[in-house]
Amino acid sequence: MNTLVIVLSLLAGAYLVAVLEAWLATGRFRLAAPAWAAVALLGRESIVPRTPDRIFFETAPVLLLVVALLVSAVLPLSPGLIIADMTTGALFVNAVLAYVPVALLMAGWGPNGGYALVGGWRFLGQTIAYSMLIVMPITAVAMRAESLLTTAVVTSQGAVWNIVYQPLGFVLFFTAAMAVSFLPPFDLPTAGGELAGGVEAEYTGVRLGVFRLGRMVLVVSLAAVTTVFYLGGWMGPVLPPWAWSAIKILAVSSTMLLTGHYLPRIREAHLLAWCWKLGIPLALLNIFIVGVMVLIWP
């Protein structure tokens, strides 16, 4: 039952995020826009490129969707509303996210096209940039909770949320989460003005629909991870816990989309340089500060 509720919640969240994305793109708020877009995609011919690597080409969109759904398996939306409360939950999130670059590399290699190929390799470089900025802030979150259980991470924020307790970690994780979900300004693998869609460029019809759905679900899943790790998860006054989770997840997703709308795409070399020369030292500093604070003010 929990699985069904969480999967449906994710799909509903992905739909609302798609509405917001369409609103930002066109300037018109239309609640039915994603539904019409989906119908248009389903009605369109699903073209297969001339000489694809068929297994990679067919698997990549599905893999992206599966990865996005798996991330949410260990995230509690309210007490008891979780698919699997694993003792290694926080680590599981990181492990599952390692398959996002796999999906994108397959989507880049599979169609045997120039734009897709460059897009796939670009994401590999992007992975090298953001990976440590996912792992290291999660380490600091687990340090405070003294557990890798995601439910323990939420309850550890009873007195003060992690966004206040470790703001540096939040900024780093939020930025890295945008890079994982290749949202602007980190949309290097899709880059409309540079690669005409990149890893998406050779997909049409149902396959493109699945790919885009996977991306939207990934955005919502990462917003949920941010909520659980930094915004106190389901905690909040008056409203029921699930409502607080929904509000926070939508707020984080919207912030991710809005941030990208007002910034130009980052250069790949700069992304790598900033992540390694600035991001990783800051993440280490965050771990040190949290370590000291856990001793002084658990």
Partner 1 sequence: MTVEHAHAGHAQAQAQHGDMPFMSMVDVTKDLPRSRDGLPMEWVEVPFGPMFPGLPGGLLLTLTLDGDAVAKTRVRSVVGGGGVLPTAGLDATSFIAHLGAMDPLAPVAYRLLACRALEAAAGQVPDEEIRRRRIAVLERERIASHLGWLAMLGLQTGFAWLERHATRMQLECLRADLPRILQLRSTIQALTARLVRTPLLRSRLHGSGIVRPSSDLRGPVARAAGMRCDARIDDETYAALAFEMTERQGGDAFDRLHIRLGEMQQSLALIQSVGGFAEPASTVVGSASGAGHASLETPRGEAQLHLVLESGRVVQAQLDTPTTHHMKLLPDLLDQQELGDALTTVCSLDLSPWEVAA
Q: Which of 194, 235, 243, 284 lies at the binding interface for partner 1 (CB under 8 A)?
A: 194
- Of 264 and 298, which has the nearer Cβ to partner 1? 264
Binding footprint of partner 1, residue count (CB under 8 A): 39
- Of 43 and 51, which has the nearer Cβ to partner 1? 51
- Of 53 and 58, which has the nearer Cβ to partner 1? 53
113, 214, 215, 225 from 218: Cα distances, Å: 25, 6, 5, 10
User: DSSP labels for the chain?
Assistant: -HHHHHHHHHHHHHHHHHHHHHHHHHS---TTHHHHHHHHHHHS-----SS--HHHHHHHHHHHHHHHHHHGGG--SBTTB-S---TTHHHHHHHHHTHHHHHHHHHHHTT--HHHHHHHHHHHHHHHHHHHHHHHHHHHHHHHHTSS-HHHHHHTTSSS-HHHHSHHHHHHHHHHHHHHTT-TTS-TTT-HHHHTTGGGTT--HHHHHHHHHHHHHHHHHHHHHHHHHHS-TT--SSS-HHHHHHHHHHHHHHHHHHHHHTSPPPPHHHHHHHIIIIIHHHHHHHHHHHHHHHHH--
Residues within window 254-273 making contact with partner 1, judged by CB under 8 A: 260-270
> Is residue 46 close enough to count as binding partner 1 by CB under 8 A?
no
- Of 141 and 191, which has the nearer Cβ to partner 1? 191
- Of 43 and 193, which has the nearer Cβ to partner 1? 193
CB of 65 within 8 A of CB of 99?
A: no
> Is residue 49 close enough to count as binding partner 1 by CB under 8 A?
yes
Q: Which of 20, 68, 73, 115 lies at the binding interface for partner 1 (CB under 8 A)?
A: 115
For residue 49, the minimal CB distance to partner 1 (Å) is 6
CB of 109 within 8 A of CB of 148?
A: no
Biggest alpha carbon–alpha carbon distance for the chain: 63
> Is residue 51 close enough to count as binding partner 1 by CB under 8 A?
yes
> Is residue 117 close enough to count as binding partner 1 by CB under 8 A?
yes
- Of 232 and 260, which has the nearer Cβ to partner 1? 260
Q: Which of 11, 24, 102, 206 lies at the binding interface for partner 1 (CB under 8 A)?
A: 24
For residue 125, the minimal CB distance to partner 1 (Å) is 9
Residues within window 122-161 making contact with partner 1, judged by CB under 8 A: 122
Q: Which of 3, 8, 12, 25 lies at the binding interface for partner 1 (CB under 8 A)?
A: 25
> Is residue 113 close enough to count as binding partner 1 by CB under 8 A?
yes
Annotate each residue in 172-191 with x if it binds partner 1 (CB under 8 A) or - if it does not, as one string: ------------xx-xx--x
> Is residue 192 close enough to count as binding partner 1 by CB under 8 A?
yes
For residue 280, the minimal CB distance to partner 1 (Å) is 19
Give φ, ψ of 122 to 5 degrees: -60, -40
Residues in contact with partner 1 by the rule CB under 8 A:
24-25, 27, 49-53, 109, 111-115, 117-118, 121-122, 184-185, 187-188, 191-196, 260-270
